[in-house]
Amino acid sequence: MNASLAKKMSFLVVSVVFICCCRSHGVTAANKPIQTFVIPHSHMDVGWVYTIQESMHAYAANVYTSVTEELSKAEDRRFIAVEQEFFRLWWDTAATDSHKRKVRQLVKEGRLEFIIGGQVMHDEAVTDLDDEILQMTEGHGFLYETFGVRPQFSWHVDPFGASATTPVLFALAGFDAHLISRIDYDLKDTMQKNKKLQFVWRGSPSLKEKQQIFTHVMDQFSYCTPSYVPFSNSSGFYWNGVALFPDPPKDGVYPNMSVPVTKETVHAYAKTMVENIKQRAAWFRTNHVLWPWGCDKQFYNSSVQFNNMDPLMKYINQNSKDFGVTVQYATLGEYFQAIHQSDLVWELRGSEDFLPYSTEPHQAWTGFYASRNVLKGVARRASAQLHAAETLFTRYRISFPDGPVAKDWALDKLRALRWAVSEVQHHDGITGTESPKVADMYLQHLLQAMMGVEELLTAIFSSYSSDALEQHVIVYNPLAWNTTTIINFTVTFPTAAVFDDDGQPVPAQIQRSAQSNATYDLFIVVELGGLQQRKYLIKFSEKECSGTLKCGWTYEAKGVLFERLNVRDWLKTGRRLLPVLNQCYKLMFDQDTNLLHSITYLRVRMTQDFWEYHANGDVKAGPISDNYIFSANGSAVRAYEAVAMEIIPGKIVTEIRQLFFREEGDQDYAFSITTRVPECFGSRLPCHRLEQTYSLGPLRLNTEVVLRTSSSLENNKTLYTDDNGYQMMKRTHRKFANNTVARNYFPMVRTAYIEDELSRLVLVSDRAHGVSSQADGQLEVMLHRRLWNNLAWNLGYNLTLNDSSVVRPTLWMMLGSVSATAGLYQREAIELQHRPVVMPIDQPREFVLPPNLHLLSLSIPGWNYSSNHSVHLSNDMRSEPDYDRVLLRIMHLFEEGEDPELSKPVTINLKDVLRGIGEVKVLEERSLTGTRDITSLQRWKWKTADNLETSDAFTVTISPKEIRTFFVHFASRNF
């Protein structure tokens, strides 16, 4: 087996033994041969083992060069292009004018088809809704500008499990059908046997049939051509062999090239191919078979591929009566068109997803939910920075169209960060399943692009002069909601006073930093309107606050240290409880353990600490954990032997610092929890939010560390986690013959909670993690992993996850009734992701949406195309960017019935809502990625058992879970 296929795993574990289950499947009841759609493709990971630059050099550029040449030689040949990052790099840096002319013609003829159309084939478990939309929008805009085409189908063949959010987004983008592959091995086997691999998926329980989509699950062979042929030791139908790194061979001879198709071998090839086609046909309801021809890194030498497949297909068709099979090159669209025309009635699937994913009894792909925590965190921070920069640049352009910031330079900075954030959404990117050098590549691209956007923000905002003892601070709220919150700065002076732009003192608190004895944490209470900035002045002093320094409301908080306690001395606990109170909670800390003892909300008992799973590193000793797989080697054990605690009572926030030591005698702590309990200022500062930041690492080798929150809630080990930050999924604990712990882990992108009849405990996160409820009342979050094993291909590709980093994720915790938290957690998760940004600027008017609506996007994409499709096709494409078209997306946060008020549809007048930004002249509603006019979008209809047949131009009604997308044109401003 090609080593690169080991990761693509167990659909080949069946070793592809061709048991001829032909029986009567050679012809249908109508005596028609099986119609086989041979779909040539190359799966090109945007990352994984090799960097993008290495892949472009070794094979990816050759794929598009050689495919373009070969498709142009014969009209029946086809190819599907999937990952746009590689295609765009080829188009912009390698394609000749001749290649570009040929591609345009092939696209026009429908023989080269763009599938998905996003920058990457994004992961579905740990990606955030915002970023999935971004990477699709990036690719779709390029394709529409360049070719006037809009993808209609997905090819999500390699993400590790399938979420219910992805088909909803694809439907909103105008897709007609969806294709997935990686689902649980045992579930796929059952679906195959019962011919249920195709269905209509209603991914959202609120949108239901409005955004349903036909879905095809690939059979056990997945997206790769069978690699085994009985008459050859080579790779079957991959006549171009296996890609070579770092350089392609100059003579064009690659390893493992298959036996050529000749007069002597054609019948054996045909027999093997036909038997496999018939085996697949037995698993589907129609006589159409999708036969993917390709795999990872294929078609870099397309001439040898097509020159062997052409005579093989011709031979099969010449003998189709005997074989009972016909074959044809096809695009995915041609296959789905045939399925659609079959006019069958399809079973419905509701909003349940296909997570988690397992390939074998001991191979639960739940480890990657927590792999490479640093990368996951940087990717989310970059996304949040991009969101803030997009809204700020959009407002700047509308207010100052001829301002001093060069618009082309600004757009270049934004596009670089769009590209970097899109790129890392790849299913071997943000998942943490890539090699160390590829992880470094993603981080480098993200950090460089973030620095570029910082330059843009510096250019947009006025700079303020200051001396060493004064600092002007501008705080920007990137959300379309009014907010009162606490911001935190690290400063070098022990005393500070804070004033607003009217010279009035602002509530603030200063204390010695937990990170360094030489710095201080300054907390400031800020009140901001939606998309609004406010200026603050901070005056510092090296002395204690005195009459000569106007201290304002600044409170100097002092810490109280508690005795460090060893776990082995915990004999009697709960005797000495220390309360920390605010207007929402009473937290009790146990001075016999230095742990949290309880939170008073209907008297919920609760503890929090760190536990770890010990992983097996020897494949000869049993199942192993790696980048992808979590295979618990027994139950978790306590990860520490001693705990220290410091409490810093404050007027703004009370901070509890807990330090956990691996061994009793250790001087340095291994883990920490910093809990901030805010005081309530007025009625708007949320006291229900307990903000926790953790520090973990470096870990010991072969350990996976979890934060375990144990409570008195009676949840029966039932958990709720979010699908991509879009909707919540109920996760019922299941018992398995093997690997029960790992198979009950789920991805947490933004939110997870447990509940009973009285209370709900909610966690919202600043990055993705794995989460589980392994015992009643328990919420367990996997925060960090460090692993090494001796599996040959892990060592060969450096995929052992020897991650020695220190990670510092943040979770916000809420405890309350089910009804009270239902109206909070969606907004809290977004407020955590889009925290206030610090920068200088003049103060504009605010832009505020109702509390159940979220401003998903406000940006200037720069696309140059007409909103009218026919006009766009008749004009030259990809000319100068359009700086006046604004892309606006608004999302309803709540499900149907989730809250008695917040779940109601909302009607708003966008002209009124946007008045704080500018005067709206034209409003056009578009598909999710902007390339289609929603009024002319006609998606395919699929027959199901319950198929349903559905004023003011600026007034729109947004229903639960809807995402509405618009192009907005503002009136010009003359100054």
Tokens of 621: 């000793």
Tokens of 569: 């001395």
Q: HSE-up of 883 (CA within 13 Å, CB side)?
A: 21
Query: Of these residues, 128, 158, 296, 428, which one is catalytic?
Result: 158
Please count the residues of the chain.
975
Per-residue pLDDT of 208-257, as tens digits, reads: 999 999 999 999 999 999 888 888 878 889 999 999 999 999 998 999 99
3-class SS of residue 178: strand
3-class SS of residue 405: coil
Residue owning tokens 């009035």: 504
89-91-94 Cα angle (round to 5): 80
Cα torsion 901, 907, 912, 913 to 10°: value is: 50
pLDDT at position 13 is: 33
Measured CA to CA, the distance from residue 688 to residue 678 in angstroms comes to 8
Q: Which of 388, 402, 173 is nearest to 884 (CA)?
A: 402
Chain centroid to CA 810: how far?
Answer: 18
Distances from the Cα of 282 to the Cαs of 35, 80, 271, 325, 442, in angstroms? Answer: 13, 25, 17, 13, 43
Measured CA to CA, the distance from residue 939 to residue 936 in angstroms comes to 10
Measured CA to CA, the distance from residue 941 to residue 957 in angstroms comes to 24
Distances from the Cα of 84 to the Cαs of 89, 137, 262, 336, 352, in angstroms? Answer: 8, 11, 36, 21, 29
Distances from the Cα of 940 to the Cαs of 204, 693, 937, in angstroms? Answer: 18, 48, 10
Strands 560-566, 943-944: pairing is: unpaired
The 3-class secondary structure across 793-826, one letter per residue, is: HHHHCCCCCCCCCCECCEEEEEEECHHHHHCCHH
29 near 281, Cβ under 8 Å? no
User: 24's torsion region: left (phi>0), alpha (psi -120 to 50) or beta?
Assistant: alpha
Q: Could you say which residues of the chain have pLDDT below 50?
A: 1-29, 463-464, 466, 546-549, 840, 948-951, 974-975
Measured CA to CA, the distance from residue 364 to residue 137 in angstroms comes to 32
First to last CA, the chain: 68
The one-letter amino acid at 95 = A
Per-residue pLDDT of 905-950, as tens digits, reads: 999 999 999 998 999 999 999 999 999 999 888 999 998 876 533 3
pLDDT at position 187 is: 95
Chain centroid to CA 848: how far?
Answer: 27
Measured CA to CA, the distance from residue 893 to residue 962 in angstroms comes to 8
Measured CA to CA, the distance from residue 852 to residue 902 in angstroms comes to 6
Q: Which of 400, 410, 431, 411 is nearest to 123 (CA)?
A: 431
196 near 283, Cβ under 8 Å? no
Helix, strand, coil content of the chain in percent (nearest 5): 25, 30, 45
Does the predicted TM-score (pTM) go above 0.85? yes
708 near 608, Cβ under 8 Å? yes
The one-letter amino acid at 761 = L
Measured CA to CA, the distance from residue 968 to residue 973 in angstroms comes to 15
Which string of DSSP letters, residue by residue, matches 251-291? T---TTPPPP--TTTHHHHHHHHHHHHHHHHTTSSSSEEEE
Measured CA to CA, the distance from residue 327 to residue 304 in angstroms comes to 19
Task: Reply yes or no: is the peptide bond before residue 246 cis, omega within 30 of 0.
Answer: yes
Would you call 158 a catalytic residue per the annotation?
yes
Strands 177-180, 213-217: pairing is: parallel
pLDDT at position 957 is: 96
Q: How many CB atoms lie within 10 A of CB 193?
A: 10
- Residue 318: which residues within 8 A CB-CB, separation 6 or more? none
CA dihedral sign of residues 501, 502, 507, 512: positive
Q: Which domains does the chain have, with CATH numbers?
A: 34-116+151-354 (3.20.110.10), 370-461+849-970 (2.60.40.1360), 560-834 (2.70.98.30)
Which string of DSSP letters, residue by residue, matches 314-339? HHHHHTHHHHTEEEEE--HHHHHHHH
Q: HSE-up of 502 (CA within 13 Å, CB side)?
A: 3
Measured CA to CA, the distance from residue 432 to residue 630 in angstroms comes to 13
